Structure 1
Amino acid sequence: MSRRNPKGRDINGIVLLDKDVGLSSNAALQKVKRLFFAKKAGHTGALDPLASGILPICLGQATKIAQFLLENDKSYFVRSKLGQMTDTGDCEGSIIKTQSFEHLNEREIVNTAISFIGDILQIPPMYSALKRDGHPLYKLARQGVEVKRESRPVTIHKMTYLGYANGILSLEITCSKGTYIRTLIEDIGKKLGCGAHVVELRRTGFAHIDISQTFKFSDLEALALDNYQTLDDKILASEAMLPNLENVYLSEAQSVNIKFGREIQTDKQGLFKVKLFDEKKQFFGIGECQENGTIVPKRLFI
């Protein structure tokens, strides 16, 4: 590929990557950034190396809306092993406890699993990227240090039972932001009295995006041409990832004012975020409506 600018290309938008198992989210990000030769890139909604599935990669200005994408619900396919607990909550860790599960019948297992549907409290796992005094918890866990974590509310919107055989329970789960599937499986195992851990995890939904809309990295590599055109056609517009935010179209004067950080007056009322479009109907950022009808800038592409 021709690379005229050593710093990379000014390209904006989102690549819907289907991350492979065994790859960290940051490693996947760097591979996509290099392939597109983008100046700037970031991911949203990190996935463990064990997990595969939807990982939105934000390029250029799209990195500015990553924080808003984190608010979205997500869906997962998960297979879990009953009767064993590991120190990480998944099959990458060491088994720390083994208990009998053979006495459990399918009805007990299903009823216990679906009892977690709704608003629940979760204690974040030690093997997570949450920070304590600036240090990721997983780094402390690797040092044998465990710190107290406060429980936090999450919502399990939907749980579909897919099957159970030989100690392996398969589920589809739709949940709110901040939900740890590893913790959910551990909690189901504890309630069953036998323990459990994740053996396979795949993110199949992200907001309104379905796994069928994503691309494997190998697919993107095959599309890479010297002029980048075929590859760039797979970049999703930033605003397309925010379907639940109302569109607000501004005049030239309003666009100038809000780009300078000034409030603008509209006929909108209430506290909610909106997508901002300039006089040419080009998306340029996120604003927030106020009770008095003004819109204040939150994150702008400038």
Structure 2
Amino acid sequence: MAQVKRVRRAVSGIILLDKPRGFTSNAALQKVRWLLNAEKAGHTGSLDPLATGVLPLCFGEATKFSQYLLDADKGYETVAQLGVTTLTADAEGEVIECKPVAVTQPQLEALLPQFRGDQQQVPPMYSALKRDGQPLYKLARAGEVVEREPRSVTITRLDLLSLENDRASLAVACSKGTYIRTLVEDIGQALGCGAHVAELRRTQAGPFDLSQTVSLEELERVHTEGGAEAVDAYLKPVDSGLEHWPLLQLSEHSAFYWLHGQPVRAPEAPKFG
């Protein structure tokens, strides 16, 4: 008997998922897409499987704005395991070096300012960046190491929340493209003992923070009780990620051309801030 194809719904909006640990961003997206039975979906930048926290998922018309969320600043809280260096710079990688830790809180706090502001950061080999069409992590798994160009990133906040024995909790606010694994690894090298990311939680993505998120378990519960339509209650408006942008009113004539992809002349330049 032929399998009946599932007819997907043309829903639009943004769901702010608190991504659980162990899921790739795409796996989390596809799970929520299935719960919504959504026709079109996309996420706004990957979180490592190890990481949890704010992951905006765009559906339908909201996918057209996903690039703006991808380019937005991010916030994180991370736990750095001092004294242990791993192949992937996180807790899932093979341990390659262990060193004793003799770091005090004043020493660490005195070091952090050099990592704030504009930085040149070399992306890790274990990343989704591509070289000649191949993701770097695939080359790394094959034992290859290729030269990576440093990238300009900005660290606007880097604060020590606590230091307990050999585990340092840090709060970070940064520009897009910043690798927290690389930041922690660089701090470990500067301390002389090495370090890797033991825990990572994204606390902010653009205008969205953890207080606005919903867990995967909650979405599954709602779906079980009321089906895909019940999950719609967690969809934020398509433009909710752009609320900090200025509002520009178009005439009916201009709106017609704009909706058909044509440039229009604004009566005045919109003002930010």
Q: TM-score range by the shorter chain?
A: over 0.9
Q: Please name the residue that 2:146 is paired with.
A: 147
Q: Please name the residue that 2:256 is paired with.
A: 256
Q: Please name the residue that 1:137 is paired with.
A: 136
Work out which structure has the larger RCO, using CA pairs closer than 8 Å and 6 or more positions apart in sequence.
Answer: 2
| C-alpha contact (below 8 Å) 2:79/2:199 kept by paired residues | yes
Distance 2:5 2:248 in 1: 35
Shift of 1:175: 0.7
- Tell me the alpha carbon deviations over residues 124-173 of structure 1, each in whole angstroms, 9 at most, x when there is no partner: 00111111111111111111111110101111111221111121010111
- Tell me the alpha carbon deviations over residues 174-215 of structure 1, each in whole angstroms, 9 at most, x when there is no partner: 111110000000010111111100000000111121101100
Distance 1:76 1:39 in 2: 31
Task: Give the TM-score normalised by structure 1.
Answer: 0.84
Change (3 A) 1:227 1:90: closer
Q: Which residue type is aligned with residue 212 of structure 1?
A: S
Distance 1:167 1:263 in 2: 57
Q: Which runs of 5+ in 1 are unaligned?
A: 274-302
Change (3 A) 1:78 1:210: same
User: More strand per residue: 1 or 2?
Assistant: 1
Distance 1:149 1:202 in 2: 26
| C-alpha contact (below 8 Å) 2:129/2:136 kept by paired residues | yes
Distance 1:181 1:226 in 2: 39
Q: Which residue type is aligned with residue 36 of structure 2?
A: F
Q: Please name the residue that 1:194 is paired with.
A: 193
Q: Which runs of 5+ in 2 are unaligned?
A: none
Distance 1:142 1:88 in 2: 10
Q: Which residue type is aligned with residue 219 of structure 2?
A: L
User: More helix per residue: 1 or 2?
Assistant: 2
Distance 2:40 2:263 in 1: 29
Q: Please name the residue that 1:76 is paired with.
A: 76
| C-alpha contact (below 8 Å) 2:36/2:229 kept by paired residues | no
Q: Which residue type is aligned with residue 175 of structure 1?
A: C
Q: Please name the residue that 1:113 is paired with.
A: 112
Q: Please name the residue that 1:285 is paired with.
A: none
Distance 1:114 1:52 in 2: 26
> What is the CA RMSD across the aligned residues, in angstroms?
1.8
Distance 1:162 1:147 in 2: 35
Distance 2:226 2:84 in 1: 51
Shift of 1:266: 1.6
Q: Which residue type is aligned with residue 140 of structure 2?
A: A
Query: How many pairs does the alignment contain?
Result: 268
Shift of 1:114: 3.3
Q: Which residue type is aligned with residue 209 of structure 1?
A: F
Q: Which residue type is aligned with residue 173 of structure 1?
A: V
- Tell me the alpha carbon deviations over residues 86-109 of structure 1, each in whole angstroms, 9 at most, x when there is no partner: 11000100111222222x222111
Distance 2:247 2:234 in 1: 23
| C-alpha contact (below 8 Å) 2:35/2:231 kept by paired residues | no
Shift of 1:259: 2.5
SS at match of 1:218: helix
Q: Which residue type is aligned with residue 216 of structure 1?
A: S
Give the share of equivalent positions with the same residue, in percent: 46
Q: Which residue type is aligned with residue 173 of structure 2?
A: T
Shift of 1:60: 1.0
SS at match of 1:264: coil
Distance 2:175 2:221 in 1: 34
Q: Please name the residue that 2:158 is paired with.
A: 159
Q: Please name the residue that 1:88 is paired with.
A: 88
Distance 2:25 2:120 in 1: 26
Q: Please name the residue that 1:48 is paired with.
A: 48
SS at match of 1:247: coil
Q: Which residue type is aligned with residue 265 of structure 1?
A: R
Q: Please name the residue that 1:279 is paired with.
A: none
SS at match of 1:240: helix
Task: Give the TM-score normalised by structure 2.
Answer: 0.93
Q: Which residue type is aligned with residue 182 of structure 2?
A: T
- Tell me the alpha carbon deviations over residues 246-273 of structure 1, each in whole angstroms, 9 at most, x when there is no partner: 2222222212112233221222338x99
SS at match of 2:247: strand
